[in-house]
Every structure is written in C-alpha cells, then in structure tokens.
Structure 1
Amino acid sequence: MRDQMEKHQSWIYLGFISAGLTLGAYAPELTASFDRLLWPLLGVLLYATFTQIPLLRIAQGATDTRFMIALLVGNFVAIPAFIAIMLLWLPLPPAVLAGVLLVLLVPCTDWFISFAHLGKGDTALAIAATPLLLLVQIIALPVYLWLLLGNEWFLLTFSTALLGAFAGFILLPLALAWLTECAAQRYPSLERTTHRLGLLPVPLLALVVFIIAASQVGSVLGLHQVLAQVVFIFIGFLLFAGMLGKVLGNAFKLPPASARTLTFSFATRNSFVMLPIALALPEAWQAAVVVIVFQSLVELFGMIVYLRWVPNTLLPDRA
C-alpha cells in the first residue's frame, strides 16, 4: 500500500490541491477554520517522516567517503552557488524570492529515498545520507538566507513566530523521532509501530496541501503571473540538478547506481519541511507558502520524467 501511494503521489497531491482551490473559491466560509487543523497535521506529518529517517546511523552513512563528499559539495556548495547566480536575473517580489530560496536551498530527506529506489539508484546509500543531509541543512539554511536576502531576513529569523515554528515543528518532531528510534531498538513492538508510521506521510501531506490550497486560493489567483515565471525556474533547476549529478558522479568516479542516487538528491528538495517556516512568516511574506507548494508539485511531475531519463539516458549502466 505504501509503495502504491508513493508511486502515485504526484496525482494524489494534484487532486487534493485542485479540490482545495475549488472549495476555497466557491465555499470560503467552509475553509475559514481550516487553519486550526494545519499546525497539528504538520506536526504529526513531520514526526512520522522523521521516524523513517535512520537518525541513529549518521556515523554509518559516512562509510562511502567519495559519495558523501560529492553529496555535500553538490547540495551545499554547487546548488547554492547556482541559485545565487540565478538571483541576478530574477526580478521577483521579496516574498516569492524567499519561497524560491526556502525550497531550493535544502535537499529532500524523505521521498528522495523512494525516487532513488525507483530510479535504480543505491537505496542503502540514500537511506544513509538522509540524517546527514538533515543535520547540515538545519545549520546551513539560516546562513544562506542571510547571505542571499540580507539583513532584513537576518532580523526576521529571530522573530518569536519563526523561532517558535522552527523549535516546535522541526526540532521537537526531530527529537521525538530520535527518542522513538532509540526506544524501538529495545522494544520490537515499537519498531513495528514505527514502520507503520511510514504509511502516514503521503495522506497527511495531501491533507496539508488541500488546506493550504483552500486557504490560499486568493494568493494563488493573485500570483498566477509570478507562478508562470517560477515554473521555468523550477524546471531549469531540475535540468541543472541532473547535469550536476552526472558531472560530480564522473568527477568522483562513482558507480552508476551511486551517481543516480546523487542526482535524485540534487533534484528533490525539502518542500514540506520548509512549510512551517514559511507559514510562520509575517502576512506580507505569505506568498512564500504558495511558491513552496507549487514547487513540490512541479518537482513531483519532474520525478516522473527523471525515473526514465536518469537510469536510461543520463546515467545508464556501463557496458
């Protein structure tokens, strides 16, 4: 069941977003109280997702040194540099720009594993990489945003709402997931329960994007011209990520399966982990939420193309 949901998740999210936009446009009185459900859903979603990340195996993941160095160089040096260069040609409103940066600067730590597996990558490497990616991005993201958005964002990061969202909806679920994994090592029944939590991320994220679409329908309509611009940015990013995976895979002499895993890491971004941060921004910055949800949808349909392009054309098995 989990495999089927992950295989068809692009269409699931599209359906829920369409339903949310329709409900928000034609029955806004029904969506007025939806915001109350959003934060609890996000908390459970992130906790369930983090329990699927092997947080206790960060040290084990560092055994393939060449892969890990390539992974870190690509995600935290090459991609931020590419995005910084893109900023020179992006005449975007600050809130939209913040959304683009929030979603593109941080690598995915969840469905990246699924797509790496479906795209004939090295699933074990993908699993080993996720806790390291999560740890580094938590440290690096505030620095990147300060460098790219300036002092206004630096002051904004110390607002009570933003710090509260970061602590309550990223650090707290992360800590609880770590404690759950520690307990699961001692109690087999808890380990089975943790495995079942893997069924929750897709339906919970579907509900989250449904609520956001229903409550942000006005923003979506107001941003339709901007979204038409950023869709090309997101498609361009997917093309760049694919070529970067090939270049670094060759440079570090990685086997094809490892290079594919590298490529899927570069192409998938941590969109819904960034949602609590975007939702906690002041009202003037709320367009960032719409941009993040929109990017995740573009990315998911991009992955449908990646599943054929990466293993068959970009990084085929060597003769």
Structure 2
Amino acid sequence: MLSGSGRVGGSGGVGADGGSGGVRADDASSGGGDATRPALTDGVRIPARSLLLFLGAIALGSLVGIASPDTGAALGDGVDPTVLVLVTVLFSELDLSGLRRLRLRGASRVLGAAWLANFVLMPLLGFGIASLFLSGAPLLFAGVVIYFTAPCTDWFLGFTRLAGGDTSLGAVLLPINMVTQLLAYPFLLSALVHTPAVADPLVIAETLVRWCVVPASLALGIRLAVALLLPRGAGLRIRAVTGRLVPLVIAALIVQIFAANVGTIRDHADAFAALLGAVILFFALGYTLVDRIARALGFAHPQRALLAMTTAARNAPLMLALTTVALPDEPLVAASIVIGMLIEFPHLAGITWLLTRRRPARVRRIAAREPAPTV
C-alpha cells in the first residue's frame, strides 16, 4: 500500500475443529461464496504452484535489481499501478452477498480480534523483539518497529484468497487498518525519533480515496458492465479468469519490489543479519500466537486464515513512503523497512501453503472434485 506522495520503487457457526463463534467453514470458504467459485479450488491446489511462482518472482526480481539497478528502478515505478490492479481484481470478485451472513455470524468478533492483534499484540511483540536484537542501533530499531506496527492494506487480501481465507471480511479490514495506522503513525514516529506528532486529515483522506474508493469503484463498474452487457454464463467465465489472475499479479508485484529494492540488502549487509533474525522471529511468534488465539475463539478456517494473513503482512510501502518524507536524512530507518518487506514475501508464500494444507477435510473433498485452474 502506497501513499500518493511516495512509492517503494527505486526512489524511495462451527469451526473446522469444532469450535463455535466464527463463520461456518462450509459457508464461507472465501467470504460466504458459492462452493463452485474458483477461489475454493485455488485454496487447495494453486498455492503449491503459487509458492514456486512467488519464489521464482523473488529470484527474478533480485537478479534484475542486481544486474541492472536502472531497470530495477524503472520496474519499481510500476508498483503503484500494479497494486491498484491487484486490489481492483480482488474487489471485482468479492462475494458481497456474504457480508449479510457474516454480520449475523460473528463478524464483529473477527474484526475486533484482527484489530487487537494488529494494533496491540503485534506492536508489543515487535517492540520486544526489536529491543532484543537492535537495542544498540537506534535507527534500525526505529525502522523495524515502524515496519512491525503497520498491517498491510492491500496485497494481504490476495494471499488471504489463495489460502482459502475470508476475503469479504478482509475487504472490510482494509479501511479500518489504513485509518488506524495513519492516525497512529505520527505518534509512533514522535516516540521513536522525537519528531512533532501531526496527523494530517488530508493525507488520510487522499490515501483512502486512492487505495480503497478508487479500486472499489472500478470493481463495481466492471461488475455492473458485465452484468448488464453479457449473458450470465459469460460473466461467470470472466469472473473465473479474473480469479486466476491473482497469483500472476502478485508475482508481478514481487518482481517489481525486489528489483527496485534488493540493492538495499547489498548496501546494508552488515545490518542484515540482525534484522533477519528479528523479522523471522517476529513472523514465527506472531503466526503461532495469532493461530492459537483464533482457535481459542472458535474461528473457522476462513477466519483463521484471514487473521493469520492480516497479521503476517505488513504495510512496508506506505510506511516507507511516509518515513522517507518525514526522515529524509536517515537512510538506515528506510533500509530496515525495505529489508523487512523483502523477508515478508517468502513468509507469506510459506504460510499460504501451510494454511491450505490445514483446511478442513470436507472443503478439500469438495475442491478435489473440481478441475484445478491453471496459474
């Protein structure tokens, strides 16, 4: 998720385990959708291929960025449009009718748990881990704490979908996460580097419009056009094709981000080991804690997957854009955010694969009877 002024380019019912309280697993494998939707199959067979696709994208982007920094910077300039395409594609295939069912079946509990995990549990965990690994490097400490405290507001929804998670509730989380972190960021920055805390309402409004209202409006326009101009069968086929684009768009985004930013690791190799340890421990402990909380609350697989993804994916691009504007003379702060982001993508690919293997057996059997779409 990027702000309008910066980018991450070259410049800068019953749960599956018998618990209650979540949405039923057989009702909402992807936010309350029909069992024949492509997302159901994607959540079982596609991630194995997607894992290879994403790892290949990481390798390709890294090679391009190292071999030709200018090309990497040019690819980085395309991150904003790619993110916009990804969010629009995801919004265009959401089953919005599922929101009514979700409201009746504990959606507020899921949203509340996600908010507390993202803005209380994960920041506390991140602060403790950063203190353990980076207490002697205040600028790296500040950057990694900023990274740890900001949940993603865009591409996590793509990984949620691939893992069979609840994308309808995930779409509701987007503006909640965005507004909360934009309001909190000035105070966090003030506490870390002693700058004045000012939350600019114009920045918040512009960011919400650019990254929530615009893609949602585009998606609604596409859905209305398809419904009005095409027969129902053609519309369903287009929706299926759109669903298959998600892994490819994510892979393109990974190539762009790595190509534009892999040089940061090379330039700050001496700090990479400590940052690597901190970020890996943060992701491992965070996933374990959040999974236990979701199970204790009785969430079904779609909501457990959503909670896992929203707490695993961080909003590095937006934090990087804001931080480079607020602290233009502190490259180490920005470098730690970039390094965290580069470690994040293999982690997201890995837990996507792990979550699909842990889906309820009944949902797997349904999906196994369907033809697997190609990536």
Q: 1:111 to 1:171 in 2, by over 3 A?
A: same
Larger mean CA deviation between 56-65 and 99-108 belongs to: 99-108
Give the residue type in structure 1 aligned to 2:214: L
Return the alpha-carbon distance in structure 2 between the equivalents of residues 262 and 180 of structure 1. 27
**In structure 1, what residue type is equivalent to 2:150?**
L
Q: Please state whether the residue corresponding to 2:340 is helix, strand or coil.
A: helix
- Distance in 1, matches of 2:205 and 2:49, equals 35
Q: Does 1:83 align with 2:83?
A: no
Does residue 264 (structure 1) correspond to residue 305 (structure 2)? The answer is yes
Counterpart of 1:206 in structure 2 is 251
Matched residue, 1:133: 173
Measured at CA, do residues 103 and 127 of structure 1 come closer, stay the same or move farther in structure 2, by a change above 3 Å? closer
How far did 1:244 drift?
Answer: 0.6
Q: Which residue in 2 is equivalent to 1:246?
A: 295
2:142 counterpart letter in structure 1: P
1:296 and 2:358 matched: no
Unaligned runs of 5+ in 1: 118-125, 250-257, 313-319
C-alpha displacement of 1:54: 3.1
What is the alpha-carbon distance in structure 1 between the residues aligned to residue 279 and residue 289 of structure 2?
A: 15
Distance 1:196 1:224, change over 3 A: same
Offset of 1:263 from its aligned partner?
Answer: 1.9
Corresponding residue number in structure 2 for 1:155? 198
Q: Which residue of 2 aligns with 1:252?
A: none
Identity of aligned residues (%): 16
Q: 1:233: how far off?
A: 0.5
Task: Give 1:224 deviation, angstroms.
Answer: 1.8
- Shift, 1:168, TM fit: 2.5
Task: Indicate if the aligned counterparts of 2:152 and 2:316 stay in contact, CA closer than 8 A.
Answer: no
Q: Name the CA distance, whole Å, in 2 between partners of 1:270 and 1:175.
A: 26
Query: Does the C-alpha gap of structure 1 residues 234 and 85 become closer, same or farther in structure 2, counting only changes over 3 Å?
Result: same
Equivalent residue in structure 1 for 2:110, among 71, 82, 88? 71
Corresponding residue for 2:318?
A: 277
Count of aligned pairs? 293
**Code of the aligned partner of 2:84:** G
Matched, 1:9 2:57: no
Partner SS, residue 116 of structure 1 = coil
Q: Gaps (5+ residues) in structure 2?
A: 1-37, 132-139, 362-375
Distance 2:116 2:124 in 1: 12
Asked whether the equivalents of residues 16 and 207 of structure 1 are also in contact (C-alpha less than 8 Å), the reply is yes
**Residues 1:8 and 1:163: Cα distance change in structure 2 (over 3 Å):** farther
- Corresponding position of 1:224: 272
- Greater helix content: 1
- Deviation digits for residues 153-186 of structure 1 (CA, Å, limit 9, x no counterpart): 95376686x8655533443112222333344444
Q: Root-mean-square deviation (CA), in Å? A: 3.5
Change (3 A) 1:115 1:63: same
Does 1:167 find its partner at 2:209?
Answer: yes
The aligned amino acid for 1:14 is: L
Q: Secondary structure at the match of 2:94?
A: coil
Letter in 2 for 1:175: S
Task: Identify the residue that residue 236 of structure 1 maps to in structure 2.
Answer: 285
Counterpart amino acid of 1:301? G
Match of residue 145 from structure 2: 97
Shift of 1:17: 1.1
